[in-house]
Chain A
Amino acid sequence: MSYRLGVDVGGTFTDVLLVEEGSGRTWRAKTASTPADQSVGVLTGIGKACAEAGIDLSEVASVLHGTTVATNAILEGKGATVGLVTTRGFRQVLQIARSFVPGGLAGWIIWPKPEPLAALQNTVEVDERIASDGSVVRALDEDDVRAQLTKLQGRGVQALAVSLINSFADPAHERRIGELAAELLPGAPVSLSSDVLPELREYERTLTTVANGYVQPQVKKYVTTLADQLRSGGVAGELAILRSDGGLQSAGAAIGAPVTMLLSGPAGGVTGAVWVAEQAGHRDLITFDMGGTSTDVGLVQDLHPRIGRETKVGDLAVRASSVDVRTVGAGGGSIAHVPELTRALRVGPQSAGADPGPAAYGKGGVEPTVTDANVVLGYLPTTLAGGEITLDVEASRAAVSKVAEAMGLESAEAAAAGIIDIVNENMLGGLRLVSVQQGFDPRDFALVAFGGAGPLHANALGRLTGAWPVIVPPGPGLLCALGDATTSRRDESARTVLRRFADLTGGDLATVLQELAEDAGERLAVQGVPREEQTVGYQVDVRYHGQGFEIPVDVDAGWLADADAALTRLGEAFDAEHDRLFSFLLGVDHELVNARATVTGPAPDVAPVALPAGDGDPVAAEVGDHTVYVGGEHVPAVVYDRARLRAGDVVPGPAIVTEMDSTTLVLPGHVATVHAAGSLLITPVEG
C-alpha cells in the first residue's frame, strides 16, 4: 500500500494528514508548530501520524508540504540582505515604487512608507542598455560591473538580484552579470529578473526578483534541512512543496524560485476545498477560509481555481501566479471598537492575535473580539479543541458590553450580534470581490468554509450571498494538509510577447506557447514526472491595444491546430470575458501581452472516504442543549458531536456541530445534511 503525507505548518499548529492511496483512509496528527525550526514540528507530526496508522516511515511515498516559511520571512521582515543591480539611471526603482501612495485624498499625511526590500545603499547600477525590442543600445561594460559588484562586497549581501531595463526582451546582460557575481560575490545566490519574471514593467519585475532573493536563503535552509531530516528519519519518499498556484514542485525547484511559493499556505486550502467539493458533487465553489486575524476567499470554476497574476503578502505585491485569493483583514481575533467622534461600530483591522487573544481565552485579553461576540451569542460551546481551551463566558460578556455601552445598545447580545453582522459584512465584501466584481453570480456556486472560524460564519454568509450549499469539510482545520496531499505536480513558463493581433499569426502564437510548454515540461520531467504523463495548459494575457490591464484567457490546444483561426478564437474568448467583466466591447485591435504554459502531472490516486449510512436522524450524535441568540431572541439549540454523525443524517437548525478543531453553526431555517464523503451541506429549508 502506498501512502501520501500532506503537511501544513500554521502559526500555532502543524497539521499532518496521512492518506492511504488505494482506500482513501486518512490518519491525522496535530502538533504544536515550532517556529524556531519548523522541521522539528513537522517530523514530530509525521511520526505521530505514522504511529497512528501503524506504518513505518519508510512506507511514505511522498511528503507534500505547504509552508509559510517564505511568507513569514516577508511578513516578519526577516529575509536576506539583498543586493540589487540595475541599469544606470534606475537605481531608485524600488525607492520611487511607481510613485504610488495608498489611501484617499490627504492619505499621504498618515502613510508610513515601507522601506524597499533591497536597501538603496545595497543597490548598484551598471553601464549597459537594451531597447524594448531587445536590441543592444549600449553593450555591457564588464569592468563597470566588476567595480559595482566589488562595492557590494563587505556589505553583508546574502543574495543578489539583477534586474535590468528591458531584460524581458533579451536576458544576455543579466546572465553575464550573474556569471560575474558568482566570481565576485561567491555564496550569494543570484536571482535574474529574466528568469524570475520575464515580463514588461520594471518595477514589478524588480520587486519580484528581489523578493525571490529575499526569501531564498531561508527557504533553502528550511527545505534542505527538512529533506535531510526526513531522509535520516527513515522516510524513503521524496519531498514536494506546494506552489502559490496550487501545484506541487520538487524541493529543488522550490529553492530555485521561492517567489512561486509565497501563497503556499492559502493554496493548500483552496486545493483542499476543491477536493472536498468534488467529493460532495460540486464543481463550482467559493472558498472561505476564516482564521484568527484574516480571512482568505477565492473562486473555483469547474474545479479549477482562478489563478491570479499577482501575489500579495502584507504590503508587498509581487508578480507571480497564485490562486486568486483575496484577503480580508478580519478574523476571529479582530477587535471591535467604537470611535468616539463618529460612534460607528468598527471591527478590525486591529487583532488580539494569539496573545493575549480574545477575552474568552482568559489570557489577559480585555478587548471585545469577534470570537467573544460568538461566545456571548452562544455560538461557541464552552470548550474548544477537544477540551484543551475552556472559554470564559463572563470575560467575553464584559468585553462586548463595552461596545454596547459606547453605542447605547440595550444588551451585550445586541452588541455581539452587531459585531457579527459587521464582520460578516466585511467578509461579504471579500466574497463580492472574487464573485460579483469578476462577473460571477455567487448563487451559481457552493461556499466551502474552513479555517478555525469559517464554519461558524459560513451559514450567515451563505444567506448573504445565496451561495448554497454551504459545505463544511470534515476537519475544517486540516483542509490545507488535505489539499497538499491531493493535488498534482506543476510547473510553468511565461514570457512577455507584446504584439498586436494584426502583427501576429496563429502560427506565431502556437510556436511561442509550444516553446514555453517544452521548457516547463522539461523542468517537470527533471522533477520526476515523465513527459508522457504531463498535461499542458496554455494561457495568454490579452487586452485591447492601449489598455493598461490584461485579462488572462485560456487557450484551447485545439485552436492552435488551425493556425488561420487561432487568433479569431482567442479574440472571441477575450471579448466574451471582457463583456462578462465590464459589459462592453471595443472595436480596437487586440494585443497579446504575456504567454504562459502550465504543465501538470497526473492527479494522485486518492480514494474518498465513505461514512457509514445513517437513518437521517442525527439523534445519536446529540451531546447536549445550548441557548443561542439569533434574530433578536434567545432560542434553544442542540449540540452535536460531528464524529458520531452518519451519512444522510439531517441536522435541523438552530444547531451547533462540534469537532476537534472547529465548530459549525446551523442557523434556524436551515439544515445541515451529512454527505457520505464526510462534509456537512448546509441549505435553507424550502418554503
Chain B
Amino acid sequence: MARIIETATGSVERSDVDPVTLDLIENGLRNARYEMDEVLFRTALSPGIREQHDEFPLIADPDGKMVVGQFGLSIPDFLDGFDGTIEEGDVLLTSDPYACGAAISHANDWLVVVPVFHEGRVVGWSAMFGHMSDVGGKTPSSMPTDARTIYEEGVVIPPFKLYAKGVPNEDALRIILNQVRMPDWNRADLNGLVAACRTASRRVVEMCERFGTATYLSALDSLLQRNFDAMKVLLAMVFEEGRTLSFTDYICDDGVGYGPYELTLSLTRTGDTVHLDFTGSSPQAHGPINYYINENLTRMFFGIYMITVADPQILWNDGFYPLVDVTIPDGSYWKPAHPASLNGRNHGIGRVFDLFGGLLGQTNPALLNAAGFSSSPHFMYSGHYSGGDRKGEWFQLYSIGFGGIPGRPLGDGPDGHSLWPSFTNIPCEYLESYYPLRIEKWETIADTGGPGLHRGGNGVDVAYVFEEPGTIAIHDDRWLTYPWGVNGGHPGARGTKWIDHPDGTRRVLPSKCHDVPVAPGDVLHFVTWGGGGWGDPLEREPSLVALEVDRGLVTASGARRYGVVLAEDGTVDAAATETLRDQLRADRPAELPVFDMGPPIEELLARCEEETGLPAPTRPVWV
C-alpha cells in the first residue's frame, strides 16, 4: 500500500460549483487529455505507438478515480500494489499486470503514473500506458504465441520510481533497457509517456490556480456525480428489473492447440445496480491469450457502450462505478492465476466489443451491431540485412492489421477499418522505405463483409513480399468461429494467412505463430476477417448492390446473397431479382434470428481441417 507524503496539512473544503464553472473544468480536462495523446504521438519511436496509437491516457481525482480518459486503468489498484512512499516529483512505472490488479494486461504495456501535487497536496493523478514494440524475451516483439508463463514474455517491471522527487533512476532504466531489442524505441516512448503525464499535471495545476483548488476538486466530484446520475437513469430505462441477459462469444484458439474458448457475460439489474457476471466463461488458457481484466475496466467498457449513443459529448469518467457490480471467476480466462502467460490478450480485449454489443443490443436496438473487427491482429517481421550498405543491421517490424467494421444500425460497416479509436495503418511507402519488403496488394476482399440491409465491412488482404531472410510472427483470430450477423444479417467471412513460396508451393499458417522463417521472394497473405451484416439482406436496395459490384466490393455472384441478379452490363435485372428474392424468402424461416453465429461449434471443429487447412483445436475444460 502506497504512503502519500503531503506537506500541506488539513483538508480542502468542498464547495458548491456553479454549473458553468463545472462545464469549464470539464472542457479543460478534455483538452488536457487530448494534449497527452498529441505529445506522445509526436515523440514516440516505436511504430505501435507512433503510427498506430496503441496508448491510453487518463487524469484522475486525488482518490485515483478517472475523471477523464477512455480506458479506465485502475490507479487505486496500482497504489495498493505499490509498497513505498509517493512524493512530489515522483514518476512511477510498471509493466506487471499481476502487481497492479490488471491495470494493464500484458507486459508489453508500460504504465506511467504521476501524482499531481499543488501547494503540497495531491490534487490528482495523470497516467498513461503504451504498447512497447519489444520488451525482450525469446522472440522479437516479445509475444511468443506458445508462452505458458509470463516469464517467457520479456522483462516484467514491478511498480517502482522511475523518478524519485524529480531525480531519474538511471540505473534501473539501464537494467530494463538492457533486456530489450530496440532500446532507443523504448526510451523514446517512455520519455513520451512521461512528458504526456507531466503535461496533464501542469494543466491540472493551472486549473487549480485559476479556479481555486477547492472549486477544482469539488468540480471533479460533481463530474463524477454527473456520470453517476446519467447512468442511473439510463440503466433503469434500458434494463428490465430482474431479467438476466446473457451472451457468449469465442476466442478460436490459444496458440498451443486448445480452443475455442467461451467468453460468457451475463447482466442482471436489481434496483439501481446492474451485475455483470463472467461466470460460465472458459478456464484460463494454456497459451498466452488470457485477458486478465480489471473490474473497473469492465465497468468502463460497459459504460462507454451505454453512453455513446446517449450524450457523446459527456466527459467520460468513473463516477457511475458504484452502480455496477462485477463478478470475475478466479482461474477463468478473465482472471488467470499467476504466472499464466498474457501476451496475446489483444483478441480478448477486442472481443469485449462484440460481447457487449451482443449483450446490450438485446434490449437496446441502437447498440445492436453485428460482430466486427474485434481484435488488433499483429504482424511482425525481423532479421538481419544479409547484404548491401546495411549488412548485419537488425530490422524489426511490428504492425497492426485492420478488417471489417460490422453492419450497424447507422448503416454499412466501413471496409478495412479499425474498431480501436485513433489507430491507423502504417503506409506502404513508409514500410518499403524502412524495411526490406514490398507490398504487392493492399485491398479489401469482395464479399467478405456479411450481407445485410447494412453490409458488414470487408476484410483486408495485404500481400507482403519479403526481400531479406528473417522470421515472422502473427497474432490473429476468428479463423474458426464467424463474425456473426444480427437481425437477419449474415456472418462475415473468417480470416486466413498463408505464404506463397517462389517455387509455387503454398503454406497455410496458423492464426497464431512466431519464429516462422521466411526467405526472399516469399509472399505472405495476411487476410483479415469481415464484419457481420445487419438486417435482412433481401431488403437492401438492388441498385446499391449493383453499385458495390461496380466498385468491386461485392462480386456478381456475391450479389445473389442479397437476392440481386445483375444483367450482363452490370445493371439490376429487376424481374430476376424479384424471383430470386421470393425464392430465398420462401426457403428460410419466416422469423429471422436476432443472431446468426454461423454453424455450431461442433460442426466447425469437424470441418476445420477441410475448410481452413489447419488442425482442429481441443476444447478446453475446467478441471
Contact = CB atoms under 8 A, between A and B. Distances in A.
A binds B: yes
Interface of A: 88-93, 95-113, 119-121, 129, 131-132, 137, 165-166, 168, 200-204, 339, 341-346, 407-409, 417-418, 421-422, 425-426, 429, 432, 437, 498, 544, 546-549, 578, 581-584, 586-588
A106 B551 contact: no
Given A166-B429, A547-B44, A584-B43, A342 B308 contact: no
B31 A110 contact: no
A96 B38 contact: no
Interface stretch (B16-24, B490-498, B499-507, B615-623): B16-24
Q: Which 10 A-B pairs have the closest CB atoms?
A: A89-B441, A548-B50, A99-B402, A418-B20, A120-B551, A132-B432, A546-B45, A132-B433, A121-B550, A96-B416
A96 B415 contact: yes
A422 B438 contact: no
A105 B184 contact: no
Contacts of A119: 551
Contact of A89 (B192, B195, B410, B442): B442
Contacts of A407: 19
A409 B419 contact: no
A421 B415 contact: no
Contacts of B51: 548
A344 B26 contact: yes
A202 B429 contact: yes
B195 A100 contact: no
Contacts of B424: 98-100
B20 A339 contact: no
Given A99-B423, A109-B367, 18 more contacts: A91-B443, A91-B552, A95-B415, A96-B416, A96-B444, A99-B416, A107-B308, A112-B411, A339-B313, A344-B313, A346-B313, A409-B19, A421-B20, A422-B20, A422-B27, A429-B27, A586-B188, A588-B188
B383 interface: no
13 contacts: A95-B553, A96-B416, A98-B424, A99-B425, A100-B423, A104-B421, A168-B429, A341-B311, A343-B226, A344-B26, A346-B23, A546-B50, A547-B44
Contacts of A588: 45, 184, 188
Contacts of A346: 23, 313
Contacts of A581: 42
Interface in B273-318: 301, 304-305, 308-314, 316
B515 interface: no
Most buried by A among B51, B301, B412, B443: B443
Given A100-B422, A104-B304, A120-B551, A165 B429 contact: yes
Interface of B: 19-20, 22-24, 26-28, 31, 35, 38-39, 41-47, 50-51, 70-71, 184-185, 187-188, 191-192, 195, 198, 226, 229-230, 233-234, 301, 304-305, 308-314, 316, 353, 367, 369, 372, 402, 405, 408-412, 414-425, 427-430, 432-433, 438-444, 460, 463, 547, 550-553
Nearest to B306: A106
A119 B463 CA distance: 24
Nearest to B431: A132
B275 to A, nearest CB: 22
A317 to B, nearest CB: 12
Contacts of B552: 91-92, 120
Contact of A131 (B311, B415, B438): B438
B438 A109 contact: no
A426 B23 CA distance: 11
B417 A109 contact: no
Contact of A426 (B27, B50, B234, B551): B27
Contacts of A165: 428-429, 432
A12 B389 CA distance: 61
Contact of B443 (A89, A109, A111, A409): A89
A341 B20 contact: no
Contacts of B433: 132, 200, 498
Contacts of B439: 89
A584 B416 CA distance: 36
Nearest to A437: B35
Contacts of B416: 92, 95-96, 99
A95 B70 CA distance: 27
Contacts of A425: 23-24, 27-28
B421 A109 contact: no
B316 A110 contact: no
B429 A200 contact: yes
Contacts of B425: 96, 98-99
A583 B423 contact: no
A547 B408 contact: no
Contacts of B418: 99-101, 108
A165 B429 CA distance: 7
A201 B230 contact: no
Given A91-B552, A437-B35, A582 B42 contact: yes
Given A432-B31, A547-B50, A342 B408 contact: no
B429 A121 contact: no
Contacts of B367: 109
Given A342-B226, A582-B195, A90 B19 contact: no
A402 to B, nearest CB: 15
A131 B432 contact: yes
Contacts of A113: 412, 414, 417
Contacts of A110: 308-309, 312, 410
A202 B430 CA distance: 9
Contacts of A202: 427-429
Nearest to B549: A121
A574 to B, nearest CB: 13
Given A100-B424, A422-B23, A584 B415 contact: no
B432 A104 contact: no
A544 B188 CA distance: 10
Contacts of A583: 195, 198
Contacts of A339: 311, 313-314
Contacts of A137: 438
Nearest to B441: A89
A101 B24 contact: no
Nearest to B357: A109
A148 to B, nearest CB: 13
Given A418-B19, A582-B42, A342 B311 contact: yes
A108 B420 CA distance: 8
B313 A105 contact: no
A519 B161 CA distance: 55
A165 B439 CA distance: 10
A343 B226 CA distance: 8
A361 to B, nearest CB: 25
Contact of B430 (A96, A201, A422): A201
Contacts of A97: 417
B362 to A, nearest CB: 16
A417 B20 contact: yes
B187 A586 contact: yes
Given A342-B230, A342-B314, A547-B43, A105 B188 contact: no
A344 B195 contact: no
A578 B188 CA distance: 13
A360 B192 CA distance: 49
A203 B426 CA distance: 10
A101 B551 contact: no
A165 B438 CA distance: 11
A582 B24 contact: no
A582 B439 CA distance: 34
Contacts of B234: 341
Given A341-B230, A432-B31, A549-B41, A120 B442 contact: no
Nearest to B570: A121
A92 B443 contact: yes
Contact of A101 (B233, B305, B313, B414): B414
Contacts of A343: 19, 226
A101 B406 CA distance: 13
Given A131-B432, A166-B432, A345 B42 contact: no
Contacts of B44: 547-548
